[in-house]
Amino acid sequence: MKTYRGSCHCGAVRFEIITDFPELTQCDCSICRKKNALMVKVHESQFTLLAGEEHLTEYQFHTKTARHFFCKTCGIYPFHRKRVTPDNLGINVFCLDDFDSDAIPVRRAKGAAML
């Protein structure tokens, strides 16, 4: 397990995660397709919001269980609280500092099939 830091584009929202990157996820649900994020799942105990809570805005749709967070200033999606496992967060790995995702397997999630 290693600690990684990340942020939105403007740096207003900063966070860190602890993970060993067992896999990355690309979801095919309507919001994930449009934001084109590649995610790693981490337990809430392995996530720390370092700065910018006041810069976050939340978006919910359909069942209003998943909580998608975006920076109010730059609009970037750094993470969301997951629908099926709400004690876990999906972290947008493209928001991590100096991180290369090429060597990590990607699982295609069938989020569009969840009703």
Cβ contact 30:41 at 8 Å: no
Give this prediction's pTM: 0.86
Q: Per the structure block, which two tokens stand in for 84?
A: 């099926």
Q: What is the pLDDT of residues 41-99, one digit of tens each?
A: 999 999 999 999 999 999 887 777 778 999 999 999 999 997 778 899 999 999 999 99
Where are the strands (E) in the chain, listed by range? 2-7, 14-19, 24-27, 39-43, 47-51, 56-59, 67-71, 79-81, 88-92, 106-109
How high is the pLDDT of residue 95? 96
